[in-house]
Amino acid sequence: MIDRASWSHPKVITAFLAVFLAGAAAGALAMKIVARGGFSSAPHTMRQMDRKELLEYFNHELKLTDKQQQQVESLLDDNFKYLQALGAQLDEVRLHGRESIAKLLDADQRKKFDKLMLEWQRAQK
């Protein structure tokens, strides 16, 4: 019998909710920016920028004051730390899901499953 109690665990629900809300907020912000034509001159997408590049981009495009620059830098630091924590939680959820599926499979299926997961990981990079 399949044990589905793990999906009702508060940590799992909280992680999914946090990822969903962060994604929804990021999507809404991105849509608003794109609708206004912002960031169209960016050399590459904001997702590809590290904290320093993003701060420099904001400084250049928005002409931030020194005080604003410090505040934005602090907010970016907080957001990057938050995203790292979410990424770690998401990795934990993925690992739990993989292990749960692997437990259901016989030896041959598990070999194929491991190969599929490895291919999927490579494709994601």
Q: pLDDT by residue (tens digit) across 42-76? A: 445 656 677 788 888 888 899 999 999 999 888 88
Q: Are 58 and 64 in contact (CB under 8 A)?
A: yes
Distance (Å, rounded) from C-alpha 34 to C-alpha 39? 7
Residue 36 — very low, low, confident or very high, per pLDDT cuts 50/70/90? low
Distance (Å, rounded) from C-alpha 58 to C-alpha 116? 41
Distance (Å, rounded) from C-alpha 112 to C-alpha 94? 18
Return the pLDDT at 85: 87
Q: Which residue has the tokens 């907020």?
A: 25
